[in-house]
Amino acid sequence: SETELSYERLLRLYKEVSGRSPSKGQLPFSTDWFMTWQPNIHASLFLNIHEYLNKAAVVDEIDTVIKAYQLYLEQTQVLDLEPMLSITRAWRLVKFVDNGMLTLTPCSKCGGHFVTHPHEIARHYVCGLCNPPARAGKGRSRGAIQVH
């Protein structure tokens, strides 16, 4: 757990701060959101871009996040995907990684690096693209990842 606060307290706090209820599912500041199938793919794309920029250029952290987010948006547009990450979620993702709550783990099948919890068994990790959930990518909604 990222905090000692109860879910109910977090929910009330979120409503008080944002003036609305959180989206269905996990609260936006939970690492769990990044573990679901499509969000994980989007988060992994963004974080790989972010990590590359971090290594390739010496810029302020916020500038790296902004540039990585711009490149993420460009990639989703080229792939005709609806972006799932907001700049806020992208920033939270970077903070979760900085705090050791999330990490990138290589897929044992394709070699791509995907967002996981740090305690994930890295040796046998298989990403959601190589092993998608049963119903993943079956929807026909525009901008969704399609599995063939």
Tell me how far apart the alpha carbons of residues 101 and 131 are, in angstroms, rounded to a whole number: 23
Q: What is the pLDDT of residue 17?
A: 78
Average pLDDT, rounded, for the chain:
85
Would the pTM count as exceeding 0.95?
no
Region at 127 (left for phi over 0; alpha for psi -120 to 50; beta for the rest): beta
Place 59 in a pLDDT band, splitting at 50, 70 and 90: confident
Helix, strand, coil % over all residues of the chain, rounded to 5: 45, 5, 45
**Per residue in 9-30, pLDDT tens?**
777 777 787 787 766 655 556 7
Tell me how far apart the alpha carbons of residues 129 and 106 are, in angstroms, rounded to a whole number: 12
Nearest 5°: phi and psi at 116?
Answer: -140, 170
Mean pLDDT value of segment 141-146: 59
Place 136 in a pLDDT band, splitting at 50, 70 and 90: low
Which has the closest alpha carbon to 37: 115, 113, 109? 115
| Residue type present at position 92 | R
Cα pseudo-dihedral 13, 41, 138, 133, rounded to 10: -90
* Structure-model confidence comparison of residues 70 and 22, the more confident one: 70
Check whether 143 has a pLDDT greater than 80: no
Tell me how far apart the alpha carbons of residues 54 and 98 are, in angstroms, rounded to a whole number: 12
Give 65-93 as a 3 state SS string: HHHHHHHHHHHHHHCCCCCCCCHHHHHHH
Q: What is the pLDDT of residue 48?
A: 98
**Per residue in 78-122, pLDDT tens?**
999 999 999 989 999 999 999 999 999 999 999 999 999 998 777
